Amino acid sequence: MTTLRPHYYDLFKCIADRCAHSCCKGWEIDIDEDSMGRYEQYPDIRCHIKDSGFVLQGEDERCPFLNKTGLCDLILKYGEDILCDICTDHPRFRNYIGDTEYLGIGMCCEAACDLILNDTAPFALLPSGEVLFGIDKVDAYKGNISEYIKQLYPEDCGCKDRTAFYLTLECLDPKWDELLKSLSDDPVTQDTRNAYIDSNSRAFRNLLKYFLYRHMGHRGFAAESVRLIAESAVRSGHDLSDICRMYSAEIEYSDENAILIKQRVST
Ligand code: SF4
Specify whether 70 is located in the same domain as 148: no
- pLDDT band for position 266 (50/70/90)? confident
Specify whether 55 is located in the same domain as 137: no
Specify whether 42 is located in the same domain as 155: no
Contact 75 CB / ligand 1 (< 6 Å) = no
Specify whether 156 is located in the same domain as 46: no
**What is the distance between the alpha carbons of residues 78 and 154, in angstroms, rounded to a whole number?**
53
Looking at residue 90, its amino acid is: H
Q: Say if 101 falls within a structural domain.
A: no
Domains of the chain: total: 2
Specify whether 136 is located in the same domain as 257: yes
Q: Say if 187 falls within a structural domain.
A: yes
What does the pLDDT average to over 91-114? 96
Contact 90 CB / ligand 1 (< 6 Å) = yes
Residue nearest to atom 3 of ligand 1 (CA): 14
Residue nearest to atom 6 of ligand 1 (CA): 23
CA distances in angstroms from 24 to 42, 61, 176, 247, listed in the order given: 20, 8, 19, 18
Q: Give 100's DSSP letter.
A: E
Q: Which domain holds residue 59?
A: 24-89
Contact 106 CB / ligand 1 (< 6 Å) = no
End position of a domain, from candidates 35, 68, 89: 89
What does the pLDDT average to over 243-255? 95
Specify whether 85 is located in the same domain as 137: no
Distance from residue 265's CA to the centre of ligand 1 (Å): 31
How confident is the model at residue 130, as a pLDDT? 87
Contact 88 CB / ligand 1 (< 6 Å) = no
Over the stretch 186-228, which tens digit does the pLDDT of each residue have? 999 999 999 999 999 999 999 999 999 999 999 999 999 999 9
Specify whether 236 is located in the same domain as 150: yes
How confident is the model at residue 192, as a pLDDT? 98
Q: Say if 120 falls within a structural domain.
A: no
Specify whether 68 is located in the same domain as 184: no
Q: Say if 234 falls within a structural domain.
A: yes
Beta strands in the chain (DSSP E): 2-6, 49-50, 53-54, 92-97, 100-105, 125-126
Over the stretch 29-69, which tens digit does the pLDDT of each residue have? 999 999 999 999 999 999 999 988 999 998 889 999 999 89
End position of a domain, from candidates 54, 71, 89: 89
Residue nearest to atom 7 of ligand 1 (CA): 14
What's the number of CA atoms in the CB half-sphere (13 Å) around residue 238?
A: 19
Specify whether 184 is located in the same domain as 244: yes
Q: Say if 98 falls within a structural domain.
A: no
Contact partners, residue 132, CB within 8 Å, separation at least 6 = 125, 213, 217
Mean pLDDT of the chain: 95
Q: Say if 233 falls within a structural domain.
A: yes
Specify whether 78 is located in the same domain as 139: no
Q: Say if 42 falls within a structural domain.
A: yes
